[in-house]
Each structure stands twice: as C-alpha cells, then as structure tokens.
Amino acid sequence: MATIEAFENLNIWKEAVRIGVEVYKLSDRAPLKNDFKSRDQLIGATISISNNIAEGFEYNNNKVFIKFLYYAKGSAGEVRSQLAVLVAAGRVSENDYHVLHNDLKKLSAQIKTFINYLKSTINSASDKKNPNGK
C-alpha cells in the first residue's frame, strides 16, 4: 500500500468531513435548528470523527493512530445514538435519520477495516524484527 502523506488524503477522513457537512445542513433546519443543546452536541460528536482521524494521523505513530481511530469510531456510534433519540423525539426526519445512520455505519466499518490493516502492519513489522517472537 502506498504511503499516505497527509490525513486529508485518507478516504475515511474525507467521508467523515462529508458526513459532518450533512449534519451541519441538517442542524440548520427546523425543528433541530432551535434545539441548541441537541444541535451543538450532535455537531460536536460528528466533528469529533474527522478531528480524531486527523489528530491520530499527525502523531506519526501507528499504535497511537489506532487509538485515535477507535475514538473516531466511538464518536460515530455516539452520533448514531443521538440521531436515534432525535428521530424518536421528532427533531429529525425518518429519512434523514436512515441516510445518516447508514452512512455512519459504513464509515465505522471502513475505520475498523483500516484499524485492522494498521494492526497487521505493526504485527508484520515486529515479526520481521524478531521472527522467533523473542
């Protein structure tokens, strides 16, 4: 796999930003527009996804990056949970909920796949350094 030079080149980061933009657009529509606490919480959790991907990448250490990818994945789950409450409370439409929920599930799966890839590179690098496991 080619080396990624900047987090902005990561597809998972690009998708997290795209979802963030969609959440901003959703939060600008009534009735969520005037529910400032829910709106701020939803936006904050959503932006946390792309921010954690970016921050983890910048540490330039795969073990640390993996930790931040798990945080990003956790934030995606938090957003799905918040959306479930908001749709049940009538603050978000069923359609908006389903679209964002599906996008977030796909993103979580992509993040997990990337975590597994990074873990395999760590494991194979340590195997090369010490093939006897000592």
Q: What is the pLDDT of residues 36-59, one digit of tens each?
A: 999 999 999 999 999 999 999 999
Domain boundaries, the chain: 1-7+46-122
Rounded to 5 degrees, what are φ and ψ at 61?
Answer: -145, 115
Contact 71, 52 (CB under 8 A): yes
Task: Categorize the per-residue pLDDT at 124 as very low, low, confident or very high, splitting at 50, 70 and 90.
Answer: confident
- 1-7+46-122 placed in CATH 1.20.1300.10: no
Dihedral angle computed from the Cα positions of residues 51, 61, 77 and 110, in that order, rounded to the nearest 10 degrees: 100
Decide: helix, strand or coil at residue 24.
helix
Question: Is the predicted pLDDT of residue 30 greater than 50, yes or no?
Answer: yes
Q: pTM (2 decimals)?
A: 0.90
| pLDDT (average), residues 61-85 | 98
pLDDT at 126: 61
Could you tell me what percent of the chain has a pLDDT over 90? 87
Q: 60's torsion region: left (phi>0), alpha (psi -120 to 50) or beta?
A: left
Question: Is the predicted pLDDT of residue 70 greater than 60, yes or no?
Answer: yes
Question: Is the predicted pLDDT of residue 134 greater than 60, yes or no?
Answer: no
